[in-house]
Each structure stands twice: as C-alpha cells, then as structure tokens.
C-alpha cells in the first residue's frame, strides 16, 4: 500500500505464491486476496494493524476471487 502523506510504500504480503484479486473491506482495514500455486488456491485475510495474513478455513478445491458481502 502507499501512504500519500509520508510518500512511502508498505509491503503487506510475503512468500513465494502469487497473490491476486485483492478485495478491500468497507472499513479499509482488512484485505482479502487469493494465492495461486501449482496445486493450491487459497483465500487469505490481512488486517492492516497485524503483520501476518490468516488463511481462511475453506473446504476443498481451489479458491479464487474473494469478495466481501
């Protein structure tokens, strides 16, 4: 993310899997995204006040295109 006041970038994620399809919560504090690997597709959530993403416990299959409802 980019802070326009300080003009600095902050990396939110890490790891070797590709991250895509970010979806911001209405409160602008949480972000959902999915990872893509050879045999994996999972959805993660990150709170901007925390340092670690949380993998959401979804059953079976490859999960992509997260959204808030």
pLDDT of residue 41: 84
How far is residue 18's CA from residue 60's CA, in Å, rounded to a whole number?
19
Q: List the end-to-end C-alpha distance of the chain, in Å, as a whole number.
A: 23
The angle at the Cα of 21, spanning 10 to 52, to the nearest 5 degrees, equals 45
Answering whether pTM is above 0.85, one says no
Question: Is residue 5 within a helix (H) or strand (E), and if so which, with residue range?
Answer: none
Report which of 41, 40, 45 is spatially closest to residue 56, judged by C-alpha positions: 45
pLDDT tens-digit series, residues 18-63: 999 999 999 999 999 999 877 778 999 999 998 889 999 988 888 8
């Amino acid at each position: 993310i980019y802070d326009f006041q300080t003009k600095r970038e902050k990396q939110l994620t890490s790891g070797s899997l590709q991250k895509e399809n970010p979806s911001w919560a209405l409160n602008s504090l949480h972000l959902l995204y999915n990872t893509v690997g050879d045999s994996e597709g999972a959805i993660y959530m990150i709170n901007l006040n925390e340092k670690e993403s949380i993998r959401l416990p979804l059953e079976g299959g490859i999960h992509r295109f997260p959204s808030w409802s």
